[in-house]
């Protein structure tokens, strides 16, 4: 398989952060709210970058 267990764990963590960010924006229900303008852009971009990192992450093989 091209992805290992750790990759799927990292992807799940990123997806959970995405879902949490969108859920908090939905609960806030304000376009100009504090979370929607100040926090959500950073958490969403960070979560998407985390998912990309999780897809491309490979464990280093040690041949010691």
- Establish if 61 belongs to a structural domain: no
- Establish if 24 belongs to a structural domain: yes
pLDDT at 36: 86
Domain that holds residue 16: 5-56
- Whether residue 63 is predicted with pLDDT greater than 70 in this model: the reply is no
- Establish if 52 belongs to a structural domain: yes
**Strand ranges, E, within 1-64:** none
Q: Are 13 and 48 in contact, with CB atoms under 8 Å apart?
A: no
In sequence order, which residues have a C-beta less than 8 Å from that of residue 7 and are 6 or more positions away?
Answer: 54, 55, 57
The phi, psi pair for 48, rounded to 5°, reads -65, -40
Q: How far apart are CA 13 and CA 23, in angstroms?
A: 15
- Establish if 63 belongs to a structural domain: no
pTM over 0.95: no
Q: How far apart are CA 12 and CA 9, in angstroms?
A: 5
- Establish if 64 belongs to a structural domain: no
Over residues 3-47, the pLDDT tens digits come to 889 999 999 999 999 999 999 989 988 888 888 899 989 999 999
**Number of domains composing the chain:** 1
């Amino acid at each position: 398989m091209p992805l290992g267990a750790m990759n799927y764990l990292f992807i799940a963590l990123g997806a959970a952060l995405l879902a949490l960010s969108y859920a908090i924006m939905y609960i806030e229900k304000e376009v100009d709210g504090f979370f929607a303008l100040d926090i959500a852009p950073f958490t969403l971009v960070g979560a998407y970058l985390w998912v990309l990192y999780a897809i491309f992450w490979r464990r280093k093989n040690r041949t010691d």
